[in-house]
Structure 1
């Protein structure tokens, strides 16, 4: 444990120190290449203009390089592999996509992903909005917000391990250590292996992601609610509107754009959900999702690069349109804010 903590601290120091050294050194070299001090007249103006052209690239350049190496190239290579055979060497055309359409597990994964999409974004957004409204009206609201936001700081694997203890099952006659089964046993019910119940186990897994992402939705929506002009609320109160009407007819319409951005952001996350399923069920008991299925085909059972890449392309095609819409919506909101 001590060596791991030391390694983490060392990486942080080296990483942050390296960034500081790079930007300081790059700016220093730029000032030396195009000096603006000690140079008079037109030459100083020209050097300042050149510095203005080059300096942004000193900051953007490393990010563009990393994006090219770790994002653009993998996307292009994944597209290529999706048309190749198991070993990724021979061209097979659309065979991998034809296999996906006819594969039962792939269809199950698609249906499970749709089920996640129907439940998780709606639940996170709704709960986040309700909590944001309620906590703004109580004196200990910031404490409540901190508690709701806290799960967001936990990794998906860590959160899954926590909930694995909640769903834990012990054989009949043994003490139930799982909170859920212990509570059910206390009420006189029968403990169950909850995550192995087909169909319903998907909802038990969804609870984990809802628990994590509700804090994100709450923070964003709380900020949007505080941007609503007080005059509109006061006018509604004077006109005799009750709190329910104020919420649905005054507040929600004014932050609808933010609600849509939060909804779509969580939707993108749900389309890529992997860690929770891998940790809790590994796709067993009809809980498979696309990302976990891709992982299985790509890295397990000998590895099938063609089929794994085809599934990755399907996920990408589902995510990209939502992501583009989300960016445009966020840009529009930002523009209107100015």
Structure 2
């Protein structure tokens, strides 16, 4: 049994017909089912394995690399059995499809399950409707967490964007541009957890003994009194935590802004200078409007980081001393107190807060030709 497809205009002789055999369709299904069966069996093996954890990790990495390669190779090989016109339509779905399915499995399904759990009580046995959502806005701890998240969003984002833009302008005019940018961008190479550990030693405070924390050592060297920077100085301790985000994300903003500034046409800048515009006026009247879309993209990206901030707060204070944020409160409720309904509600609230910012970012990306 064979199915006939006409060539579309522009792909050759319009009277020419291409044939798709039932064997090619059957082969494609067998290849797809074979990939599912083989990788499913490997997954079950790792799930139930009693091997040494190190050996299991090495084998899992090999499976991840080789498995993905074989999936794409075999599906591409099956697609080659089809006529050229149909093959051009199938191949994009082959290369995008596994990624979409994986994202759906790891992100969409858990999000839907979390939404479902948010309508139940702590043990997920009794339906409570919107009671968990109402409880969020009457909980004192949640009020503190929401206030702190707003601090992170406004102070952290504004400082990262402003400093990143300022450093990008200054570094581009420096003879040590590459070195300066490398040093400022370096914190981006480490994780938030590692940054929290580093800054924990910077802020370290030990009453009654010699201060080994860098900041307190400097303070005492100048005759001052050591301070418990992240615990006793409330609410200023939140700003000391936000400083870690600024230290890490300023380099990211600087690199993006520097690339955008280099794209500003030199003839426009020269014309402005010839007309008598100073450097400050040129900066605000020409550079800022020209890179405004980049500024918006960087701003929304950092806002997403600040809305879901978790690692730094958990490592530095564990959410104590009025430094709680929504993500740490979610972790505490769901994993420590086993209050699955309330914890799931916090996760959904965080998702709702992040979604508009991501959509704005994607819209800007589309305007710049990303899609």
TM-score (normalised: structure 2): 0.82
Task: Report matched runs for 1:1-338 at 5 Å.
Answer: 12-31=61-80, 33-34=81-82, 47-172=83-208, 174-196=209-231, 197-301=233-337, 303-334=338-369
- Label 1:5 to 1:121 Cα distance change in 2 as closer, same or farther (>3 A): farther
TM-score (normalised: structure 1): 0.90
Query: What secondary structure does 2:369 align onto?
Result: helix
- Label 1:5 to 1:160 Cα distance change in 2 as closer, same or farther (>3 A): farther
Q: Distance in 1 between matches of 2:224 and 2:58?
A: 48
CA RMSD for the aligned pairs? Answer: 1.9
Deviation at 1:70, TM superposition (A): 1.0
- Label 1:140 to 1:6 Cα distance change in 2 as closer, same or farther (>3 A): farther
Q: Distance in 1 between matches of 2:259 and 2:57?
A: 33
Deviation at 1:289, TM superposition (A): 0.3
Query: What secondary structure does 2:230 align onto?
Result: helix
Instruction: Give the number of the structure with larger relative contact order, counting CA–CA contacts within 8 Å between residues 6 or more apart.
Output: 1
Query: What secondary structure does 1:102 align onto?
Result: coil
Q: Distance in 2 between matches of 1:6 and 1:129?
A: 47
Q: Distance in 2 between matches of 1:334 and 1:312?
A: 32
**Offset from partner CA, 1:27-82 (integer Å, 9 cap, x none):** 22222x32xxxxxxxxxxxx001211211111111111111111111111111111
**Offset from partner CA, 1:3-32 (integer Å, 9 cap, x none):** 99988776555433333333222222222x
Query: What secondary structure does 1:99 align onto?
Result: helix
Larger radius of gyration: 2
Q: Distance in 2 between matches of 1:203 and 1:69?
A: 38
Gapped regions of structure 1 (runs ≥ 5): 35-46
Gapped regions of structure 2 (runs ≥ 5): 1-51
Instruction: Please state which structure has a larger fraction of its residues in helix.
Output: 1
Q: Distance in 1 between matches of 2:290 and 2:297?
A: 13
* The 10-residue stretch of structure 1 (6-15 or 49-58) with the greater mean CA deviation from structure 2: 6-15
**Offset from partner CA, 1:106-159 (integer Å, 9 cap, x none):** 011011111111101111111111111111112220111111111111010000
